[in-house]
Amino acid sequence: MTSDEADALASSPAVYVHIPFCARVCPYCDFAVVAGRDDVAGRYVDAVVAEIRSAEPWRPVESVYFGGGTPSRLEPGHLARILDAIADRHGIADGSEISLEANPEDIDTQRAGDLIAAGFNRISFGVQSLDDRVLVSLGRRHTPPAALSAVRSARDAGFANVSADLIFGAPGETDESWQQSVSSALASEVDHVSCYALTVEKGTELHRRILAGAPAPDGDVQADRWETADRLLGEAGMARYEVSNWSRPGFECRYNLTVWAQGEYEAYGLGAHGFRDGVRTRNLRHLDTYLETVESGKRPLAGTETLSEWDAELDRLFVGLRRAVGVAHGPGTRAFLGDPDGVRLLEAGVVADTGDRLVVVNPLLTDWVDRVVLSLRGWEEPAGADIV
């Protein structure tokens, strides 16, 4: 994907829908999720549909992403109702990417076919690992054969765009088992792979275990695992287009690229975050409060933030520098390259100035880049500054 193609997605409107239901809450998860509440699934779908129907109309969207939680826990008919509401309210452009996150244990060929009939054309499996011990330590219920079988079922049913998410650095993982996970995912012939480092979020079961003495993920080990993934995926013909995402050419996730290009996206459902007309929105995160708010005819907002021009510019760097193509020069990159820490990152080869773009050369050090960008919040660009 060229930088022009990636940047063009800034004008590609998108929709995110959050489905919070999970079989149980995994020990590392801090998303807006609920377990044991499937009894309100129908009510939740009604609420999301009502939220969509009361949104400001928009131009036809070009990507829709159902994330969670576990969207595949909902009946395809329920998911189709939500898609129909989006099509009615905003329109869905021909050729749009309609993506669904799925847990492997929910998908067989019949179910995958029903999801295609409902309107989905991309499916992203939470495979996480293809090592039994690691899956157990992550609290996942599926087995490696079940994950591979789900990928096959999706293909057999006709999904032409299949992705697998993997997690590295979990307890029980070894160099060999990580290599095996990546190689097996590749052997399943998925089109796209995401590899995320296990992170410890406050308030999670994993955090409590570590406070009680369990070993924390090791940053050096995780860096090695990322490099292993980058090498294996690259050798298999996949290109890394973002710090944690690799794909066959043409199979980059359009929705995520829109977000990273600072494009606009409406967001519906529990805890969903959106960005439209320069305003960030954040929905309520408590399920019953969300339901009651929508049912009483109100918008379920927990907060909004209107971005100043400068904050919007820094956000452009924050999300855009995660992409392999980096970001086009503008006031933010000039500030970055005028900051002593930014200069150090340039001199150390962590970032590069290609003349018209700023690019992260060493994605393993993106955290350092993020820190510089965040430190620029409140920084005023001097009048007439032309540092590049």
Determine, following the binding rule CB under 6 A, whether residue 70 of this chain makes contact with ligand SF4.
yes
What is the nearest approach in angstroms of ligand SF4 to the Cβ of residue 103? 6
Q: Which residue has the tokens 């989905």?
A: 120
What is the secondary structure of 265-314 as a DSSP string?
EEEEETT-EEEETTEEEEE---HHHHHHHHHTT---EEEEEEPPHHHHHH
Q: Which amino acid is at 306?
A: T
How many residues form the binding site for ligand SF4 (CB under 6 A)?
11
x-or-dash string of contact with ligand SF4, 119-158, rule CB under 6 A: -------x--------------------------------
Give the contacts of 212 (CB within 8 A, at least 6 positions apart): none
Q: In whole angstroms, how close is the CB of 167 to ligand SF4 at the nearest point?
A: 9
Task: Tell which one of 9, 14, 26, 162 touches ligand SF4 (CB under 6 A).
Answer: 26
Please identify, among the stretches 1-9, 68-76, 145-153, 268-276, the one whose residues bind ligand SF4 according to the rule CB under 6 A.
68-76
Which of 33, 64, 291, 314 binds ligand SF4 (CB under 6 A)? It is 33
- The CA distance from 212 to 201, in Å, is 15
By CB under 6 A, residue 236 contacts ligand SF4: no
Tell me what percent of the chain is helix, strand and coil, each rounded to the nearest 5.
45, 20, 35
How far is residue 135 from each of residues 103, 117, 128, 144, 214, measured CA to CA in Å? Answer: 13, 31, 7, 8, 17
Q: Are 64 and 303 in contact (CB under 8 A)?
A: no
| Window of 27-35, 86-94, 211-219, 377-385 that interacts with ligand SF4 by CB under 6 A | 27-35
C-alpha to C-alpha distance for 127 and 101, rounded to whole angstroms: 11
Do the Cβ atoms of 53 and 89 come closer than 8 Å?
yes
**CB of 12 or CB of 245, closer to ligand SF4:** 245
The tokens for 233 are 């995926």
Stretch near ligand SF4 under the rule CB under 6 A, chosen from 25-33, 237-245, 256-264, 365-373 = 25-33
Indicate which single residue of 8, 10, 29, 216 sits in contact with ligand SF4 (rule: CB under 6 A): 29
Told to check if 22 binds ligand SF4 by CB under 6 A, we report yes
Among 68, 119, 144, 269, binds ligand SF4 (CB under 6 A): 68
Q: Binding segment for ligand SF4 among 66-74, 248-256, 269-277, 363-371 (CB under 6 A)? A: 66-74
Chain residues 102-121 in contact with ligand SF4, contact rule CB under 6 A? 103
Q: How far apart are CA 102 and CA 107, in angstroms?
A: 8
Angle value at C-alpha 201, between 172 and 376, nearest 5 degrees: 125
Distance separating alpha carbons of residues 237 and 86, to the nearest angstrom: 35
Query: What does the alpha-carbon distance between residue 183 and residue 343 come to, in Å, rounded to a whole number?
Result: 38
Near ligand SF4 by CB under 6 A: residue from 8, 31, 75, 209? 31
Span of 23-31, 272-280, 311-319, 349-357 interacting with ligand SF4 by CB under 6 A: 23-31
8 A C-beta contact, residue 321 and residue 373 = yes
List the one residue out of 381, 354, 366 whose CA is nearest residue 320: 366
CB-nearer residue toward ligand SF4: 40 or 50: 40
Alpha-carbon dihedral of residues 235, 237, 240, 241, nearest 10 degrees? 170
Name the residue nearer to ligand SF4 (CB basis): 26 or 47.
26
The correct pick among 9, 48, 66, 69 for binding ligand SF4 (CB under 6 A) is 69
Helix (H, G, I), strand (E, B) or coil at 34: strand
* Stretch near ligand SF4 under the rule CB under 6 A, chosen from 20-28, 41-49, 83-91, 211-219: 20-28
CB of 26 to ligand SF4, least distance (A): 3
Residue 46 CB, nearest approach to ligand SF4 (Å)? 22
Residue closer to ligand SF4, measured from CB, 128 or 262: 128
Q: Of 286 and 329, which CB lies nearer to ligand SF4 in the complex structure?
A: 286
User: Interface with ligand SF4 by CB under 6 A: which residues?
Assistant: 22, 25-26, 29, 31, 33, 68-70, 103, 126
